[in-house]
Amino acid sequence: MTAVSGAAARVRVLEERSFRSWGPAARPEGETEALNQFATALGNSLARAITEAFHAFRASYAEESQALANRVDDLAVSLVALREEGERRDAAIVSEITPKVTALVDRLDRQAEVIRVLCEGQAAGDTALSRFIDVLTGLKSSSVPLPRLPEGGL
């Protein structure tokens, strides 16, 4: 008898009997042993499948975790490199611009001094002109004759 036909015969026997009427003595001896072997084999097979699936999952998780850790490390290295490059550029820009700004500030200071001096000169000229006009106005309104310049000039 083959395993398939033996299993079919067992199924027929089970169909003919009611589970309620079965007791330990009512089961055929070989069938109990076969069911125990089947249950043991099924349990072992299931345990192997679960163990294999768990190991596969753990290996996959470890690979993905390592890949992610490597990527994070690469990004950290890139970030440090970018920060250092930015600091170098900032230093270069500052060192290049500082003398130019200093020269510009000095030039503006000199121009401001010139403008201040010109404004003071303008104010002094305005004051002198105002006094001169006051003197001329006073002379014009007075009855004193104005002195004449000699014919040859001063």
Which tens digit of pLDDT belongs to each residue from 5-44?
A: 555 566 555 555 544 455 555 556 667 888 888 888 888 8
Give the per-residue pLDDT at 19: 47
pTM recorded for the entire structure: 0.39
DSSP 63-118: HHHHHHHHHHHHHHHHHHHHHHHHHHHHHHHHHHHHHHHHHHHHHHHHHHHHHHHH
Q: Is 153 left (phi over 0), alpha (psi -120 to 50) or beta?
A: left
Residue 18 belongs to some domain of the structure: yes
Residue 106, domain extent: 8-34+62-138
Residue 123 belongs to some domain of the structure: yes
Residue 151 belongs to some domain of the structure: no
pLDDT tens digits for range 109-126: 999 999 999 999 999 999
Work out the pLDDT band at 2, boundaries 50, 70, 90: low
Residue 49 belongs to some domain of the structure: no
Name which residue leads in pLDDT, 1 or 126.
126
Q: How many domains does the chain have?
A: 1
Give the per-residue pLDDT at 25: 53
Residue 73, CB-side half-sphere exposure with 13 Å CA sphere: 6
Residue 43 belongs to some domain of the structure: no
Residue 52 belongs to some domain of the structure: no
Give the per-residue pLDDT at 24: 52
Residue 144 belongs to some domain of the structure: no
Residue 41 belongs to some domain of the structure: no
